[in-house]
Amino acid sequence: LGAACISPFVVLSYRACRAMETPYLEQWLVPFAIGVVVPVVWRFTNNGQDLCHTLPQVFGPMLIHLPGAEIVWGAMEIMMGSAVHGATRLVKGLMQATQLAFFLAVGWQFFGRNLASSWLAEPLTGDKGAVASLPDSQWCPEPFPASNPDYMTWPFVVGVYNIPLNLLCLANVHIPVRDWAGPFLVGQVGLIVLGFTQFQCTPDTCQFPAIIQNFLAAVAATTVAMIVELVQRLPAPVSVIPVLFIFAPGSSAVLSVL
């Protein structure tokens, strides 16, 4: 519900930039609009949850602007010997993350002033001003709290809720609909493997550090992409590119700035 309320304002931001023929302002206007709207939506839809639950509402509409793919390609170019091009991409990714975080925080000041003093898991009682008026920068330690409905398990969220996200990523990179089957399968396999390692594994079974979780998911997705290339004759990089929007560390870069 919260994301549905926020999305129209993001679309209006896109359209405003297009109407003014200033598409480069999207990097500023979109996070600013999200920063303005999210605190308002949160006050009416939070149902007593911790402020960390605002992060999905923040990063969902901001997905295509996150610099994750830029960071990944920069690292790949450095590994392939093109240090100048790779370093340039990495610097661009850093600047992009800084811009997103800055304008998100600026927009947050309109209706998110002192929001953290009431809605953090450990409220900043008595703290006002800058400390209590910044967007949260930590993901929730318990992504599936007991207050969720019984059906809201990680297989349902990862396997069903992420289907629209996967399809939108395919459309965003202009893959023809007739070729969606292979890349869609690649994305779903990667998401399910990542979800399993994140939420199903326990310290007694198969718990891994986050970097290993991402590595295993990337290996699984790439393996399926190679199989898709053999069967569908669709180049493996085409199938992997949409996955970058989901796996690439764009949100982590923005949170590190916040």
Q: How confident is the model at residue 224 (pLDDT cuts 50, 70, 90)?
A: very high
pLDDT of residue 223: 92
Q: Residue 108, class by beta-carbon neighbours within 10 Å (0-12 exposed, 13-18 middle, 19+ buried)?
A: buried
Beta-carbon contacts of 38 under 8 Å, excluding residues fewer than 6 positions away, are 2, 6, 54, 57, 58, 108, 112, 135
Over 70: is that where the pLDDT of 158 sits? yes
pTM score, whole prediction: 0.78
* Cα–Cα distance, 221 to 182 (Å, whole number): 11
Instruction: Tell me what percent of the residues of the chain surpass a pLDDT of 90.
Output: 7
pLDDT of residue 45: 75
SS in 3 state form for 57-118? HHHCCCHHHCCHHHHHHHHHHHHCCCHHHHHHHHHHHHHHHHHHHHHHHHHHHHHCCCCHHH
Per-residue pLDDT reduced to its tens digit, 88-127:
888 888 888 888 889 998 998 888 887 777 665 555 555 5
Per-residue pLDDT reduced to its tens digit, 31-43:
898 889 988 888 7
Q: Is 207 helix (H, G, I), strand (E, B) or coil?
A: coil
Q: How confident is the model at residue 145 (pLDDT cuts 50, 70, 90)?
A: low
Q: What is the mean pLDDT of residues 137-155?
A: 75
Neighbours of 32 (CB within 10 A): 21
The position carrying tokens 């901001």 is 62
Q: How confident is the model at residue 129 (pLDDT cuts 50, 70, 90)?
A: low
DSSP state of 53: G
User: How high does pLDDT run on average in the chain?
Assistant: 81
Residue 257 near residue 97 (C-beta atoms within 8 A): yes
Over 90: is that where the pLDDT of 227 sits? yes
Over 80: is that where the pLDDT of 75 sits? yes
pLDDT of residue 19: 83
Q: Which amino acid is at 110?
A: F
Over 70: is that where the pLDDT of 147 sits? no
Neighbours of 144 (CB within 10 A): 13
pLDDT of residue 118: 67
Over 70: is that where the pLDDT of 128 sits? no
Residue 116 near residue 136 (C-beta atoms within 8 A): yes
